[in-house]
Amino acid sequence: MKARVTMKIVFTGERSLVAPLTWGQRHVMRQHSALNVTRVLDTPPVLLPLAVDAITALVGRHEALRTRLIGPDRPEDLPADLADGVAELVRQQVASTGALTLDVLHCAPEETATVLAGARTRLATRAFNHVEEWPLRVAVVVAADIVVHMVLVCSPLAVDDNGMDLVVKDLGLLLRGALPVRSATRPADEAQRQRETGAPLTERAIRHWRTQLRRVTLVDAPPGEPAAVTLRSTALGNAAHVVAQRHGVRPSTVYLAAFAKVVGTLTDENLVPLRTVVSNRFHPDCRDVVASVAQDGLVVLDLAVPSFGDLVTQTWRAVVRAHRFARYDPDKLAKAVPGRPFACVDVRPLGQREPPPATPHPVGGAHLTVGRAEVTLHSDTTLVPVEDCLRALENLLFSAAYQVKPERVAPPA
């Protein structure tokens, strides 16, 4: 037996106000490609009223979850080249009260997996209307009168992956009757601070990006939708972990080095610039904020090194350096640094796999997304042949992990 019921839960918070967008929000708006952030919770056994109370308290505690945009209809669809104009046209509005729609899905215990998968797909694959809709969608799966699962889907304008992890942690505490510690930083306040005192950070980032990009040949990404190929392979992730442990780095550093090596070989370039997602959570004021604070960092790698291990070490140093220059006004950076690397690597948190988006992933250039047991490459085929690139990536990581001689990867004729 399956039954779906929708209910409204009324939340209240401390304050309502209008504020500028944060740099993280403006970064997401410029991308036009960020996916919704999704988590599935196996909840402690609780009754539905307790689950509703926990969700209500969660939204009341975190302003990011009760914030909508004001400005033109569907401001997320504004063209990215508006630059500073985006900041002036759009504001965020924090509400002190409102009503959130909750999906309650009743089913038999043996049906929970199917119902859960359907709820996740239904909530995660629709784009948010940030003017009319709250940035949080929730579904609760109930079996034998007990809540057994929850699906949380957030807009990337509200939280990034690390911010969503904090949301999940707080919800877990609320379900157990505990009271989470409030973050000292709130997005609206951070937006105002960035506007008033953030100019030096932006100037430092602009100098860094300009200096690094002078070293390389930039390739313009052609217009249009890219091709996409997904390689599902647990063994690939295992290989990346082996290399990472050997060199004392994170797997994300290994993927970054490997992608640079493959792209450089296929494009016949020794200096490869890459964009990589920087969480910015190592800054004290960003560590525990429920918001979207991740931005792009710039890494330029020199492939003329004796071994892949040396490239991994160089990549780690370059990533550490990039982290120092990944907080900036994205509109001003785009205006001051018009040339951008066409290749980007985005390593998702371990264990998180997003449902496929409802529309093709619109990226400019080659974008490698790494999940728990899969990698997906979106690229225009005139820049990087996607299937050849993924096969070369797999070959390189297996060879590096298990010390076998790699097959030769040649640039396309």
As a whole number, the mean pLDDT across the chain is 85
Which pLDDT belongs to residue 267?
A: 82
- The string of pLDDT tens digits covering residues 188-221 is 999 999 999 999 999 999 999 999 999 887 766 6
Q: Are 345 and 256 in contact (CB under 8 A)?
A: yes
Q: Are 137 and 121 in contact (CB under 8 A)?
A: no
Question: What's the Cα-to-Cα distance from 221 to each of 305, 334, 364, 413, rounded to whole Å?
Answer: 27, 15, 6, 19
d(CA 204, CA 323): 12
Q: At what angle do helices 251-267 and 386-402 cross, to 10 degrees?
A: 130
- The string of pLDDT tens digits covering residues 226-236 is 667 777 778 88
Q: What is the mean pLDDT of residues 76-89?
A: 57
Label residue 126 exposed, middle or buried (CB < 10 Å: 0-12, 13-18, 19+): middle
Band of residue 112 on the pLDDT scale cut at 50, 70, 90: very high
Strand order in the sheet with 17-19: 17-19, 91-94, 67-70
Which pLDDT belongs to residue 401?
A: 92
- The string of pLDDT tens digits covering residues 363-403 is 456 778 787 667 777 776 666 777 888 888 889 999 999 87
Band of residue 338 on the pLDDT scale cut at 50, 70, 90: confident
Residue 186 has pLDDT above 70, yes or no: yes
pTM, two decimals, is: 0.87
| β-strands 271-278, 91-94 pairing | unpaired
Instruction: Identify the residue with better confidence: 218 or 264.
Output: 264
Q: Are 228 and 376 in contact (CB under 8 A)?
A: yes
Which pLDDT belongs to residue 300?
A: 94
d(CA 170, CA 139): 17
Which pLDDT belongs to residue 357?
A: 43
Residue 83 has pLDDT above 90, yes or no: no
d(CA 290, CA 58): 11
- The string of pLDDT tens digits covering residues 281-330 is 998 888 899 999 999 999 999 999 999 999 999 999 999 999 999 999 99
The residue type of 194 is Q
- The string of pLDDT tens digits covering residues 15-67 is 999 999 999 999 998 876 678 999 999 999 999 999 999 999 999 999 999 99
Give percent of the chain with pLDDT exceeding 70: 84
Which pLDDT belongs to residue 76?
A: 56
Instruction: Identify the residue with better confidence: 133 or 386.
Output: 133
Q: What is the mean pLDDT of residues 343-350?
A: 66
Instruction: Identify the residue with better confidence: 315 or 90.
Output: 315
- The string of pLDDT tens digits covering residues 347-373 is 765 334 444 444 334 445 677 878 766
| β-strands 136-143, 146-154 pairing | antiparallel
The domains of the chain, with CATH numbers, are 3-189 (3.30.559.10), 198-402 (3.30.559.30)
Q: What is the mean pLDDT of residues 127-138?
A: 93
Paired with 297 in beta bridges are 276
Supply angle C-alpha 301, 304, 305, rounded to 5: 95
Which pLDDT belongs to residue 256?
A: 93
Least trusted range by pLDDT, from 131-135, 234-238, 345-349: 345-349
